[in-house]
Every structure is written in C-alpha cells, then in structure tokens.
C-alpha cells in the first residue's frame, strides 16, 4: 500500500508506476483505492464511474478499469457536502459530518467485497491511501488508510514530498501520530519529487532512518515532463494573469501557437480532458479566470462542472458571462458537458440536484437543460453529424469519448447536432444524438469528455481552428496514446531505478529479477506522415 504524508505527494503516480513495474515483470496486478475524493472521474468499460487516477493505474497495469478498483468515489459539491458514488452509481448526497460520523460504516462491507473480488483475480494488488493516514480527527471511521491496510494485511510504503519542503518533519510527524501496530505495518519510506544533488540529502536520510527506525526505500527525482494526469485540481496551473504569455514566435506570425483558453470554474471537473491538447507543440493552452485572457484567445472552452448552475453564477459575479458573450460575436467556442449546458438558453433544476429553480444560460446555443436524479455514465463512439468544423472541411468524422452528467438537454433545433453516437452502458445501448452546433458553426457543444484524446479529432480540431484564424497548418502533431505509453514506461523506469525493488517485491512474497526490458515508442509525427 502506498501512503502519503499529505495530499498531492505523488501517491497516485507512484501507484501507477508500481502497477506498470509488476506488470512488466509478468505479474497480474490491479490498483485499489477504497475511497477517493475527486471531481476528476472516468467511465469504465461497463459505463460506470470511478476516479480518474484508478483508471490511469489500470491502464498502467494493462487491465480494464473496474468499479471494484475504486468502490467509493466522493465528488464534492461544496465546502460541506458531496455526492457519493458507490460502485459507479450515485449512492446519495450527504454532508461531510453525516458521512464521516454515520454513513461511512455502511460502505465498509462493500469496500471489503470489492477488494476481495480483485484479490481473487490478480496476483498483486497495489493499494493507494488518501491524504494522510494520520488525520486523527477522521481515523475512527477510516476506510481508506490504515484500516484498509489492516483488512488487506498490506505492507505499507510511506511517501513524502520534498518539493513542498519539510519532508523529514512530515515523515516523522505522520509516524508519531500512528498507533504502534500501525507504525509496524509501515515497512519503509520514500522521498518523492527531489531536485538537486542527492549527496546533500543523505545526512538527513540517515538521521531520519535512525529516528523512526524505518529504512528509506529510495528517492524519486522530480519528473516534470510526464504526460500523465494529476489526481486532483491541486496540480492545475490556473492563470490569474490578464495578458497571454509571450511566445518566442511574434504574435502576428501565422506560425504562432493556437491560443486555447479554458475557463477554470471553482467546480471544474474532468480537467484531464485537455491534457492531450496541452501536449501539442502548436497549441498554447491556459486555464484562465479573466476576461482579458478570454478576449485574446483563438478558441474558448467552457469545460465540465460539478456545480453547473453555481459555476454559471460565479461567472456572472465576475463579469465573465459578458466576456464570453462578447467573445462569441466572432470567436470559436466549445462547451463540454456542463459547459455546453451553460451555453444554452436555460438550466432548470426541479429536484434540487444542484440548486433548485431555473436560471438563464448564456443564450449562445438553442438548447434547454433540465437536471434529473439519474446520472448518465457511458462510453461512446460515433461520427460528427456535419462534414465541417468551424466552417472548415474535415476528412475523418469519427470521434470517441465518454459521458458523465446529470441533466437532460432538449435540442430546440434538431438538424444542428454535433454528433451521432453509438453508446453503451450497464442499462442501455444504441444510437443517440449529441450536442449542438451554432448556426454559423463557430460555437459547438457536446457531452463527450475525453474528446481530444482521439488523435484524429484533435488533429482536425487544431487544423480547423488554425485555418479559421488564418494561421499556418501545424507542422507537428502528437499521437496521444503512444505519448502516454512512453510516459508510463518512463515513470516506471525512473521509479524502478530509484526504489529498492528487491525489498518491495519481497513484501509481496515475490523475487525481483532486475529491470524488465521495454519496447521504445515514437510519440509524435510530422504533418502528412502516417
């Protein structure tokens, strides 16, 4: 089990790395996080919802993502309340106090059952903790850290983040706050995100080893170039600037990067939708909160939101609604999921799923949305309904992604859909219309998350947007799946070289036989080359 001294120390990526390492050594391995708190989720092959980090870890292990890998997903809907998703479907909406004081115990048998199911199917389970195991105010009803470690009889690795500072104090403090039997379960510690000369770190490592009577299993250096998603929005680089950053290419050059502005809502969900766009060399993408940056963008994106009405009202409070409507007179806009709902005429919530009542939308697409109790969660493939995008012809109209949303959208103009989808979920399958295109094709809305991860669509999106703004065609485009595979292999290679794998394999009763060979991958291509 990978535990951390706090949130955002790198537990999720280290768990993914260990999944890849054990898989490369020929072992059937699966990730498990009993309870995750995140607005960043993914759809499994069955069309059920789990945390995005566990989907990435399953990808690293080379196995299909399953709801049993993350049986409880908590999606905050405010400072004190949250939607609880159990095995992929909505279980309830609770306050934080009610959940931790009463409801969490109801979920413990479900958590245990999911873990046992995975354990019966795989050779190795890599568990991930949440936050810190030393949250003494929550330990009584813990089902994700030490209590889960005990139920799984897991050997634990405690990870500290040196990039934040205070790593030795956080390691010592975490261990001091644990009970003796819990400390015994932690077999060693690792230091993550290190920059600089490891020789300067050695005296501190020796001193802390003597103090806690635990060995240092390794030091993992800071890996800033990996194309792998963050667990939560703590890693999201939200810009508050009012000017677009200057590129080496002159602003009036037709070869400059395409400027994509994504509005960073307070309840921004599924922000990994844009990782593949951010990785493209001909794209400059900012997560922004100012009207000035919006005005300078080539493409404006309204992304998914966990609190669609709340985020729409937040935009109005800051005057961003006016900035978007002004931009819409000549710019390119994409609304994804909640962002598409905001672009419509009205959002009505008769059941109070988010906020009771009805509010006007931005009035930029001919749609109306009514919030409902049931959540739509499914994978989808399909084709764009039109042969053009932003007024530019396209050669391949195939696309793919997944839907995770509440709300039924009524399309007031039936012949202006964005796509026709073939969907599959636990309860239904078939063809359905998705999204909406504005009358002059500059404004597009869709329910599809993960849309840009499809190489063909992303490449055509970039070409079409650049052509609309009279920019030159991109001379280099990435292949996202290969880029991710290369990143996962790089992550595994770095972690395998950094950690004492003999010891880690020994914890699960296996022999380590040295670094496993891996195949190299080419992750980009020049324009026009297959």
Strand partners, 409: 369
As a whole number of angstroms, the distance between CA 342 and CA 357 comes to: 15
The strand pair at 41-43 and 49-51 is best described as antiparallel
As a whole number of angstroms, the distance between CA 328 and CA 312 comes to: 16
Judge whether 449 counts as a catalytic residue. Answer: yes
DSSP-derived 3-state class of residue 126: strand
Which residues are CB-neighbours of 184 under 8 A, at least 6 positions away? none
The strand pair at 299-302 and 283-288 is best described as unpaired
User: What b-and-e string marks burial along 341-355, b requiring 16 or more CB atoms within 10 Å of the CB?
Assistant: bbbbbebbbeeebbb
CA atoms within 13 A on the CB side of 107: 27
Which residues are CB-neighbours of 136 under 8 A, at least 6 positions away? 177
Residue spans of alpha helices (H) in 349-479: 455-468
DSSP-derived 3-state class of residue 315: helix
As a whole number of angstroms, the distance between CA 436 and CA 344 comes to: 10
The strand pair at 283-288 and 258-263 is best described as parallel
Q: What is the 3-state secondary structure (H, E, C) of 188-253?
A: EEEEEEECCCHHHCHHHHHHHHHHHCCCEEEEEECCCCCCCCCCCHHHCCEECCCCCCCCCCCCCC
Neighbours of 254 (CB within 10 A): 12
Closest CA to 145 of 123, 128, 170: 128
Q: Angle at which helices 320-327 and 308-318 pack, to 10 degrees? A: 90
Neighbours of 245 (CB within 10 A): 10
As a whole number of angstroms, the distance between CA 403 and CA 405 comes to: 6
Judge whether 337 counts as a catalytic residue. Answer: yes
337, 417, 459, 478: which is the annotated catalytic residue?
337
E strand intervals along 316-391: 332-336, 346-349, 357-360, 367-384, 388-389
68, 449, 459, 478: which is the annotated catalytic residue?
449
Strand partners, 218: 190, 499
Q: Supply 320's token pair.
A: 């961003």
Neighbours of 505 (CB within 10 A): 18
Strand partners, 124: 29
Length of the chain: 530
48, 67 Cβ separation under 8 angstroms: yes
Catalytic residues: 337, 449
């Amino acid at each position: 089990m990978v535990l951390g001294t706090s949130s955002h120390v790198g537990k999720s990526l280290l768990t993914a790395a260990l999944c890849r390492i054990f898989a490369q050594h020929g072992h059937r391995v699966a990730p498990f996080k009993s309870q995750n708190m995140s607005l960043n989720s993914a759809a499994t092959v069955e069309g059920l919802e789990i945390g995005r980090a566990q989907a990435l870890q399953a990808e690293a292990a080379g196995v299909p993502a399953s709801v049993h890998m993350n049986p409880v997903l908590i999606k905050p809907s405010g400072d004190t309340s949250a939607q609880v998703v159990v095995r992929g479907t909505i279980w309830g909406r609770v306050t934080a106090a009610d959940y931790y004081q009463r409801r969490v115990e109801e979920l413990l048998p479900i958590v245990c059952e999911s873990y046992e199911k995975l354990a019966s199917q795989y050779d190795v389970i890599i568990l991930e903790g949440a936050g810190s195991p030393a949250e003494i105010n929550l330990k009584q009803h813990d089902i994700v850290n030490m209590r889960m470690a005990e139920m799984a009889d897991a050997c634990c690795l405690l990870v500290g983040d040196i990039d934040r500072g205070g790593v030795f104090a956080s390691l010592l403090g975490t261990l001091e706050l644990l009970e003796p039997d819990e400390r015994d379960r932690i077999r060693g510690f690792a230091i993550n995100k290190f920059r600089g000369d490891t020789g300067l770190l050695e005296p501190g490592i020796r001193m802390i080893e003597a103090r806690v009577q635990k060995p240092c299993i390794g030091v993992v250096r800071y890996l800033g170039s990996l194309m792998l998603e963050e667990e939560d929005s703590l890693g999201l680089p939200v810009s508050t600037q009012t000017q677009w950053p200057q590129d080496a290419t002159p602003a009036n050059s037709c070869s400059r990067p395409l400027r994509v502005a994504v509005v960073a809502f307070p309840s921004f969900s599924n922000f990994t939708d844009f990782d593949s766009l951010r990785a493209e060399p001909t794209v400059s993408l900012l997560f922004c909160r100012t009207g000035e940056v919006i005005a300078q963008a080539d493409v404006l994106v309204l992304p998914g939101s966990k609190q669609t009405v709340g985020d729409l009202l937040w935009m109005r409070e800051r005057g961003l609604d006016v900035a978007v409507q002004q931009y819409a007179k000549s710019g390119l806009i994409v609304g994804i999921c909640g962002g598409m709902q905001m672009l419509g005429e009205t959002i009505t919530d008769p059941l109070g799923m988010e906020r009771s009542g009805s509010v006007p939308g931005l009035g930029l697409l001919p749609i109306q949305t009514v919030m409902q109790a049931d959540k739509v969660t499914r994978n989808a493939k399909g084709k764009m309904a039109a042969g053009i995008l932003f007024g530019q012809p396209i050669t391949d109209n195939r696309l793919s992604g997944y839907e995770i949303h509440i709300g039924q959208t009524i399309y007031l103009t039936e012949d202006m859909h964005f796509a026709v989808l073939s969907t599959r979920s636990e309860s239904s399958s078939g063809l359905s219309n998705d999204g909406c295109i504005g009358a002059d094709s500059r404004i597009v809305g869709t329910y599809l998350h993960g849309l840009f991860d499809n190489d063909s669509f992303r490449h055509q999106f970039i070409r079409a947007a650049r052509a609309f703004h009279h920019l030159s065609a991109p001379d280099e485009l990435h292949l996202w799946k290969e880029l991710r595979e290369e990143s996962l292999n790089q992550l595994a290679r770095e972690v395998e070289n950094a950690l004492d794998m003999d010891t880690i394999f020994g914890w699960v009763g296996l022999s380590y036989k040295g670094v496993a060979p891996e195949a190299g991958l080419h992750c980009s291509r020049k324009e026009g080359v297959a």
